[in-house]
Amino acid sequence: MDNTILRVNHLKTNFYTSYGEVRAVDDISFSLRKGEILCLVGESGCGKTTVALSVLRLLDSPPGKILGGEILFSGEDLLRCSVDRLRQIRGNKIAMIFQDPQSSLNPVLTIGDQIEEPLKLHLRLNHKEAMVRTANLMAQVGIPMAREHLRDYPHQFSGGMKQRVMIAAALSCNPEILIADEPTTALDTTVKAQILEIFQDIKQKTSMSILFITHDLGTVAGIADRIVVMYGGKIVEAGTTLDIFDQPGHPYTRGLLNCLPSVSTSKDRLISIQGTIPSLINPPGGCIFHPRCESRMPVCKEVSPKESLISGEHIVACHLYEQERIA
Amino acid sequence: MSRIILATENLRKYYPVTSGLLSRHVADVKAVDGISLGIMEGETLGLVGESGCGKSTLGRAMLRLEEPTAGRVLYKGENILDRDRKGMKELRKEMQMIFQDPQSSLDPRMTVGDSIGEALLVHGVSHEHERGERVEALLKQVGLEPGHAARYPHEFSGGQKQRIGIARALAVNPKIIVADEPVSALDVSVQAQIINLLMDLQRELDLAFLFIAHDLAVIGHVASRIAVMYLGRIVELADRTQLLEHPLHPYTEALLSAVSVPDPHQKRKRILLEGDVPSPVAPPPGCHFHTRCFKATEACRGEEPELKPVGPGHLIACHLYKK
C-alpha cells in the first residue's frame, strides 16, 4: 500500500555565517514515492538545494548544520546512521546529479574512470566488467561511439555531453533514488530538451524515483508527477502537477505562474510579484511571503500559517485556506 | 513610416586563434560572419540564439565596443566606423548598453548615485546640483527611491541592481539601447518586473532596443521582430507573430519546439536536434546548421544559403526555400 521510498520529516537546516544565522530549510516535510518524479520548485535562496544536500548529509559543516528532523530511506533514518552506512548508500542506493557538470567532474581522470568508480566500489565489479557496463551506460544516455570516448577527459566534452556523463555515473549502480539538482539549468535550449528526454526515458523504463530540483516551471510541467513549491525555506504548496498548474492555491504559486512570459500569449504586461525575495537572516515575521503578497490579511504578519489540505493531496500553507476551514 | 536607426551591412567580427611560440595565426573564430540587419526607431528587435552563436559580439560590434573586422555599421545612415575617438564619444550619448550581470557592471566602491552620475559627468552635465537632481529623477523612473543614491551596490538585490544598470543607460537620453541578456540572471518573479519596466520605458521615451536573449519565451514577449542567429549568421528574421506561429527555418522550428511551456496539458512533439553546436573555429561547410538539421539535403553540405526574403519582412537562409 505505502510506496513511499523517502520520507523527510520536519527537516531544519541552518547556516551559521558572519552575518548571522540563516534559516535555509525551516521545518520541511514531504515524501517521495517509488517510480515518480517529484519536482522541488522555487527561486534562488528558497532552500531547495539545501534540502537535497541534507538528504545525503553532503553539507559543509560549518557553516551548514542540520538541526533536526528525520530523513527516512526505506524506514532507515539517514540523519542518525553511521558514516560507513551512509557511504554504502551514497552513489549506490541514492545518487545525485549537480547543476554544473564542469565542476563536478574530475578534470584529471578519464570519463571512463569516473563512471567506473562507483561500479567497482559498490558492485565490486572487476575492471573488464566495469568497462563493458560503462560503455553500455554511456550509450544509454546518448553518448555516440561510447567505447571510443572511455579514455577521453572531461575537457574534450561539451556541456551537454558532460551532463550525460554525470547522469551515466549516477545511474551506474541502479540507484533507487536519483536526486537531480538543476540538471538542465546550465544548458542551451536544444541541449536541455535532449537531457529532459533522458529523464523521461529513465522514468518509463525503470522504477527509479527522481527528486528533480529546478526553478523552471516550464521544465516541471513537462516531467513532474507531483510538485513541492518552496519559498523562504518553507513549503508553501504541494500537490499533483495538475493541482499546481490548474488550481494553484497559494498566492506565491499563482504569482509565479502569472509572471512567466510565454511564446503563445499576446504582448500584454506581465503580472509580476512585487518586491524581492527576503533575506533569511532576518526573515519577515508571520507568513514569510506576506510583504509581497497581494491577498495579505492582518493575521499574516503575526502568525505563521499551517498547512491546509484543500483537496486530495493538495496542500497549501496560507491563512486564506485556514479561514475557509473554520468558516 | 518609421526609419531605420541602426543598421549593419555585411558585418564581420573575427577573433584570431594563435598557436606556438611565435603566436602564429592559425585560424579565426568567426563570431559574427557577415550580418546585415536594421533596427527601426522605437522598435524592439529580438536577437535569439544559443551560447557561442555570436549574439553578444554582434550587439557589442553594433555599438563599436568591439572593432568589427569588416563591414559597416550605420547610425541614421552614417557609417560610425569612420568616426574618430572624439566623434564616437559624441555618438555614445545616443546608443547605450545594458549588461547581463548587474553585479559585475557596477563599481562596488562607488555609490549608486556616483555610478549613474558618472555617465552625466562624462557627457558634460558638470553642475553637481543638476546632476544630483537628474540622478534622483532617473532612480524614480526605474522604480527605486531617490534616497538610494547614497548607497553602495552590495546593498541592493539582483533585480534592483539591474534597475540601476538601466538608470545608468538612460542617463544620457539614448535613442537606442542594446540589452544583452538583461533578465537571464534574475529570478522569474523579478524577471517579470524588469521586462515590464523596459517595455514601459520604451513607450515613454520612444526607445529602440536590440534585445539579446537565449530564451525564446522572453524574446517572444518583448520583441516586435525576431532574428534567429546560429554560428555567426542570421538564419531567420521575421515579424514576431510570423516567426512564432510559422517558423520556416528548421533551426527556428527546433528551437521553438524545445521551449518548455508551463502547461502540463500541452504535450507537444519535441524536435530533438542531434549533438551540440559545432565550434565556431571550424564551422561546417555550406549551411552551418546542416550537421544537426533534420531536413538537410546534399545541397546544404556544399553551398552556403543566402538570407533571402520569402514573404513581406520574412527573411530566411535555407536551401529549402530557394525558388
Q: What is the pLDDT of residue B273?
A: 85
A259 contact B CB<8A = yes
Residue in A43, A196, A224 closest to B189 by CB: A43
Asked if A273 and B192 come within 8 Å (Cβ–Cβ), the reply is: yes
Give the pLDDT confidence score for residue B33 in this predicted structure: 92
Q: Which CATH number fits domain A4-93+175-262+269-326: 3.40.50.300, 3.10.28.10, 3.20.20.70, 3.30.70.1350?
A: 3.40.50.300
pLDDT at A324: 62
| Percent of the residues in chain B that have a pLDDT greater than 70, as a whole number | 99
The question of ipTM being above 0.85 is answered as no
For residue A125, the one-letter residue type is: L
pLDDT tens sequence across B46-90:
999 988 889 999 999 999 999 999 999 999 999 999 999 999 998
- Give phi and psi for A318, each to the nearest 5: -160, 140
Hey, is the C-beta of A294 within 8 angstroms of any chain B C-beta? no
| Contact between chains at B261 and A264 (C-beta distance less than 8 A) | yes
In whole angstroms, give the CA distance from residue B59 to residue B31.
11
Determine, for residues A262 and B217 on separate chains, whether the beta-carbon distance falls below 8 Å.
yes
The per-residue pLDDT for A285 is: 87
Q: What is the pLDDT of residue A35?
A: 92
User: Which segment, A225-229, A281-285, B241-245, B261-265, is predicted with the most confidence on average?
Assistant: A225-229
3-state SS of A172-209?
Answer: CCCCCEEEEECCCCCCCHHHHHHHHHHHHHHHHHCCCE
What is the tally of helices (H) and strands (E) in chain A?
A: 13, 12
Based on its alpha-carbon atoms, the radius of gyration of chain B, rounded to whole angstroms, reads 21
Q: Work out the minimum CA distance from A144 to partner chain B, whole angstroms.
A: 9
Q: What is the pLDDT of residue B254?
A: 92
Residue in A163, A231, A256, A262 to test binding to B, most B beta-carbons within 10 Å: A262
The answer to whether A216 faces chain B, any CB pair under 8 Å, is yes
Q: What is the dihedral of CA B194, B200, B202, B206, to 10 degrees?
A: -160
What residue ranges of chain A have pLDDT lower than 50? 1, 327
B260/A273 touch (CB, cutoff 8 Å), yes or no: no
Q: A269 at the B interface (CB within 8 A)?
A: yes
Question: pLDDT > 90: what percent of chain B?
Answer: 65
- Between β-strands B78-79 and A209-214, what pairing exists: parallel, antiparallel or unpaired? unpaired
Which triple of cell numbers denotes residue B222? 518583448
Q: Does A271 touch chain B (CB under 8 A)?
A: yes
Q: Can you tell me whether residue A170 is helix, strand or coil?
A: helix
Q: Which domains does chain B have, with CATH numbers?
A: 4-94+176-273 (3.40.50.300), 97-173 (no CATH)
Give the span between the Cα atoms of B180 and B308, in whole angstroms: 27
Q: Are B11 and B73 in contact (CB under 8 A)?
A: yes
Mean pLDDT of all residues in B275-301: 88
Considering only the beta carbons, identify the residue of B196, B257, B276 that sits closest to A272: B196
Q: According to the model, what pLDDT value does residue B124 have?
A: 79
CA distances from A39 to A115, A143, A242, B270 (A): 26, 26, 13, 21
Backbone φ, ψ for residue B190 (5° rounding) = -90, -35
CB contact under 8 A, A265 and B221: yes
Whether the bond between A62 and the residue before it is cis, its omega within 30 degrees of 0, is yes
Residue A313's contacts (CB-CB under 8 Å, 6 or more residues apart) are A226, A238, A239, A240, A243
Question: pLDDT by residue (tens digit) across A236-250?
Answer: 999 999 999 999 999
Return the pLDDT at A265.
58
For residue A109, count other CB atoms closer than 10 A to its CB: 13
pLDDT value at position A85?
93
- What is the predicted pLDDT for the residue at B318? 94
Q: What is the DSSP string of B4-34?
A: EEEEEEEEEEEEEEEETTTTEEEEEEEEEEE
pLDDT tops 80 at residue B120: yes
pLDDT confidence of residue A36 = 94
Is B261 within 8 Å of A216 when comparing Cβ atoms? Answer: no
Query: What pLDDT score does B323 carry?
Result: 58
Q: Where are the domains of chain A?
A: 4-93+175-262+269-326
pLDDT value of position B61: 95
Confidence of residue B4 (pLDDT cuts 50, 70, 90): very high
CA distances (Å), origin A3, targets A34, A209, B118, B202:
6, 11, 63, 54
pTM for this predicted structure: 0.87
Side-chain-facing half-sphere of B150: CA atoms under 13 Å? 1
Residue A1's pLDDT is 44
Sign of the four-CA dihedral B117, B118, B124, B127: positive
Our CA angle for A267, B192, B239, nearest 5°, is: 30
